[in-house]
Amino acid sequence: MSVTLHGAAYSVYVRIVRLALAEKRVAHDHEEVDIFAPGGPPPEHLARHPFGKIPTLTHDGFTLFETAAICRYIDEAFDGPPLLPRDARGRARAAQVIGLLDAYGYRAMVWDVYVQLAGDAAQEGTTDPAVVEAGLARSETVLDVLERFGAEGDVLGGERITLADLHAAPMLAYFMATAPGREAVAARPHLAARVAAMRQRPSVSHTRPAEAAW
């Protein structure tokens, strides 16, 4: 069996896949890919991902891109603890969390808050307060939904870790590298408890980028 993950370790979406591989205890190689290198993504990566994004996963000649598809494949193709609820409603809720994080959370929490307040924009002195304000407002809505779903107890609150937890963790870890991010999460008890539990998992500590809060 040969499993190779392609992508940069700092990437939120690469870390999501690394978390899934770690939780399923899948032995794999990790090949760093710099899609922002001069000249753009290397040709061999464009052959795997025609849009030049990361990550991609190759398993015995079978190649996938798109993080949600990769993680679902990892859960179904390998032994180990299941990463989705057994019932239809639980699986639908997990898919809903993943979808809303991609559509509304990633840009707001990572690019509009983390990058502006702690990442490249902050380091270059180009922080735009209007971008931060809008990002925080959108993030508050996202966190309110995650708090409500966590209170339901099955996804983001149950005893078992799911793909929804693994999708949320890297985004929250960058968001919480900022003071407003930490305050926003702390104000939501169910989400804060889930974050505290996730921070104790070996998969999380093993995959942590230096820039992330956890």
Per-residue pLDDT tens for 14-28? 999 999 999 999 999
| Residue 78 pLDDT grade (very low, low, confident, very high; cuts 50, 70, 90) | very high
What are the structural domains, with CATH classification, of the chain?
A: 3-77 (3.40.30.10), 88-207 (1.20.1050.10)
The confidence score (pLDDT) of residue 159 equals 87
One DSSP character per residue, 33-74 reads --TTSTTSS-HHHHHH-TT--S-EEEETTEEEESHHHHHHHH
Cβ atoms of residues 57 and 109 within 8 Å: no
Residue at 211: amino acid letter: E
Mean pLDDT of 82-102: 96
How far apart are alpha carbons 25 and 145 in whole angstroms? 30
| Residue 154 pLDDT grade (very low, low, confident, very high; cuts 50, 70, 90) | confident
| Residue 143 pLDDT greater than 90, yes or no | yes
Closest Cα partner for 207 from 12, 53, 57? 12
Q: Kindly list the strands in the beta sheet with 56-59, ordered across the sheet, starting from the edge strand earlier in the chain.
A: 29-31, 3-6, 56-59, 62-65
